[in-house]
Amino acid sequence: MVGLGNDFADAPEYVGCNDLGTAVLLAAMAEAGVRSLALAGSMVVYGEGRYDCPRHGTVRPGPRTVADLDAGRFEPHCPGCGAELAPGLVAEEAPTDPRNVYAATKLAQEHLTAAWARATGGSAVSLRYHNVYGPGMPRDTPYAGVASFFRSALARGEAPRVFEDGCQRRDFVHVRDVAAANALALEAVKGRGPGSFAVYNTGSGDPRTIGEMASALASAHGGPAPKVTGEYRLGDVRHVTADSRRLRDELGWNPQEGFAKGMAEFATAPLRGMRPDTGSSPARSGEDPSGY
């Protein structure tokens, strides 16, 4: 289960699906003698991305406060001097700092996988995906990423609702590029030593804002322009984009799908749960996935 869901009441289901489910899988692998694994990890384990203060250098701001968010103060500031911060790229060595239930479950998956590797002599890698998008994303569910939210809204003839001011920075990486990274990782992990576990950031290397993504989708779809709402979700982070050079240098991965082309394709691609004959979704509960 991905995203923030509806509210904290979803926490047991997130932990059950993501962490207990992973533990069950790893136990079955141990019994069956499977010794190689590529884990679908996530950049959410970092929490906020990298920030640099002109006075204090690289700093790690704490969680944003309700008071600041209510006042429209979305940017984190230096915890030492309060100065504005410049966002940068996060490397794999950065400390992990999950800021919501989903992020906590993704970090737990990595810890479980590392424990499995040590206990069984297996080898594993975790590909810390950025914001994956592309054909086949689920439609009309709160348990998905922002690209799915916006694409679902456009399929309903509605404007994508962009939270905060739309300037949140993310790295949107196409599902085909992620599939290629998985194929490389599965081959590479077989040659690693017993008990090994490594992590790789998996992003396009072309950071964009949420507002840019919503506008690109709406324009390519021919739907209504995005609406910037100023709303927020407390578990969201402001900026998180990562450096994926390690994956490129060590495994030879080279993403092929550019932002403009990928969004143009996604704007008209079928979504999971959409009837291909009508372009509409089957009848289901009234879950509201709008916003980010």
Within 13 Å of residue 157, how many CA atoms lie on the same side as its CB?
Answer: 2
Within 13 Å of residue 215, how many CA atoms lie on the same side as its CB?
Answer: 8
151 token code pair: 């694409």
CB atoms within 10 A of CB 67: 8
229 token code pair: 């709402």
Nearest CA-CA partner of 292 in 230, 242, 219: 230
Are 260 and 127 a contacting pair, CB within 8 Å? no
Given the DSSP bridges, would you call strands 86-90 and 161-162 parallel, antiparallel or unpaired? unpaired
Catalytic machinery residues? 102
CB atoms within 10 A of CB 213: 26
Q: How many residues does the chain have?
A: 292
